[in-house]
Chains A and B, each alone.
Chain A
Amino acid sequence: MASVQVKNVSKVYRRDRQEVPVLDGLTLDIAEGDFVGLMGPSGSGKTTLLNLIAGIDKPTSGEVIVGGTNLAQLDGRKLARWRSHHIGFIFQFYNLIPVLTAQQNVELPLLLLRMSGKERRRRGRTALELVGLGDRLKHYPRQLSGGQEQRVAIARAVVSDPSILLADEPTGDLDRKSAAEILELLERLNREYRKTIVMVTHDPHAAERAHRVMHLEKGELSN
């Protein structure tokens, strides 16, 4: 069974009085444990598609079913709870909270789950060790390099053990070496931990790491 099913989804944004169609009847299946690269020019709807899969935006028409759950049937509160359990999101600009240490940033999603403070700290530490930052627990984002910040962001995305990782240009703000490290990390998460990954990227080198690459142009997909 597919981990992500996007069925005939259309998305139209309204700016002022103008309607801007972004996705047009898009259909896509992503199997569990798959690693999909999503490419396309700016404005083609890649991020919109990622947002729809994450349940942080709603389609104008069509259905998005993730792990058997039809997201349209969840209200805002249930959707938030579902997201905290099933989705890990990695942003291009890391989006760490600047006043929290690396460990506190990673613990943030765990505040939404029932567990003791001790367990939260243990899991946060484990996630940071997994991304190779076990020695940077007390560092603030400003004390880390871009690559390290993105690794903290990945640790934050995986700490609650979600089944799906959505990465929106995770290497877009990094130098080649750091980008390679991040991509290796994502590959490892996919290979060893069976995480389903959907990665938006402009970089063909990054896209090569995916099992399959899909191109999105003018709201339509092609392999």
Chain B
Amino acid sequence: MNLFSLVLVNLGRNKRRTGLTALSVVIALFLFCSLRGVLDTLAASIRVGSEARLVVQNKISIIFPLPVVYRDRLAAIPGVKSVSYANWFGGRDSVDPNDFYAQFAVDAVTYFPMYARDALIIAADRPQAEIAVPAGVDPKLAAFLAEQSACVVGERLFKRKGWRLGQTINVDGTIFPGSWPFTIRAVYRAVDPAFGEEAVIFHWKYLNERGMGGRGPVGWYILELADPNGAAALSKRIDAMFENSAAATRTGTERAWQAGWVSMYGNVPFLIGVIGLAVVFAILLVAANTMMMATRERTAEFGVMKTLGFEDGMIFRVVLAEAAVITLGGGLAGALLAKWAIESSKFNAMGFLPSMTVSWATVATGIAIAVMMGAVSGLIPAWQASRLRIVDALRRVQ
């Protein structure tokens, strides 16, 4: 036997109470880390965008489009390497309208080369005839490029829906009415999980011709810059260029644009943080109360131990260690469980966020909180036990 086994034996004297206290700490830390995971995910979603790309949108709101003619004017600006554009489609799955996933119409020839480092084509149909693929486009997209109603689907969505290559899926348009068939010709995998794998990407030309009568306003432009350092100046220049146009623009880096989406959550992150801390604080009181009860019941034993020669400091450390084992064990289990469970679920708010993640920093914070809980919940009982006068403690027996 050693002092640590004495601590463990003491914890085992009321297994139900110890188990329930540890469980409450597990749940508290699980909730804390899960809620912090939401904040981690929001932070990750801000990191999705690149600092080397600019997004140009309508100054009023993203829901107002921009004229297609801006494309050539933007491409002509010195420092702009390439221009692509996209539209939000906003349709619903015709089979299961409640199962939402994002759909984007993109100019494939410019879009895919621009995001070649963010997403890889991992599976694709073979084209029915040999076609020339534009420079910079993954040759695996040949079948997709050859067919106007073709689409590329994120791997996670593809697997979740049980789709297969060559299958035609139907999406009911809400902004662009009608039932829209898309044939799956390729599957992409996000290189950075934050890019997300829950979207259907199809040809902007298809949307333009069928849904916008060929007039083709676009949702937003994406510009790849030759020099990311010039992003700020270029943004100002672009907005100034269209200031007196029918559709004035608001330009920023893609990362800032993503952050703008996240900022729409308002004070939700703050509330989530507060709720997480409130849960931890409530369980801290429970743990402290349990430790006080556990030590009060053993007053006479502490008297005996002191009679045997145990110093006050040693009694203090034994009681503190008991609290620490409960909270640290529970905290470690709760934090790691949160990381495993949340990341395994790959929940991504129907594609609005990257797959949920609980960062190691959050796990470390959770464990640090568990240590703090152990210290705070054990401090008072440990101090009381160490300060006991032997004769008073022994009187409890006699």
Residues of A within 8 A of B (CB): 47, 51, 54, 56-57, 76-77, 80-85, 87, 89, 91-93, 95, 97-100, 104, 107-109, 111-112, 117, 120, 156
Contact = CB atoms under 8 A, between A and B. Distances in A.
Interface string B53-94: 000000000000000000000000000000000000000000
B309 A81 contact: yes
Band of interface residues on B: 20 to 34
Contacts, number: 76
B307 A92 contact: no
A95 B10 contact: no
A87 B305 CA distance: 13
B397 A107 contact: no
A107 B391 contact: no
A185 to B, nearest CB: 19
B390 interface: yes
A108 B308 contact: yes
B2 A80 contact: no
A157 B81 CA distance: 87
A91 B397 contact: yes
Given A93-B398, A156-B308, 18 more contacts: A47-B398, A51-B390, A56-B391, A76-B312, A81-B309, A81-B311, A82-B309, A84-B310, A85-B309, A89-B308, A91-B397, A93-B397, A99-B12, A107-B1, A108-B1, A108-B6, A108-B305, A112-B308
Nearest to A117: B2
Contacts of A104: 1, 9
Nearest to B313: A77
Interface in B290-314: 300-301, 304-314
B398 A51 contact: no
Nearest to A103: B1
Contact of A89 (B13, B307, B310, B312): B307
Contacts of B305: 108
6 contacts: A82-B309, A84-B309, A95-B394, A98-B13, A100-B9, A104-B9
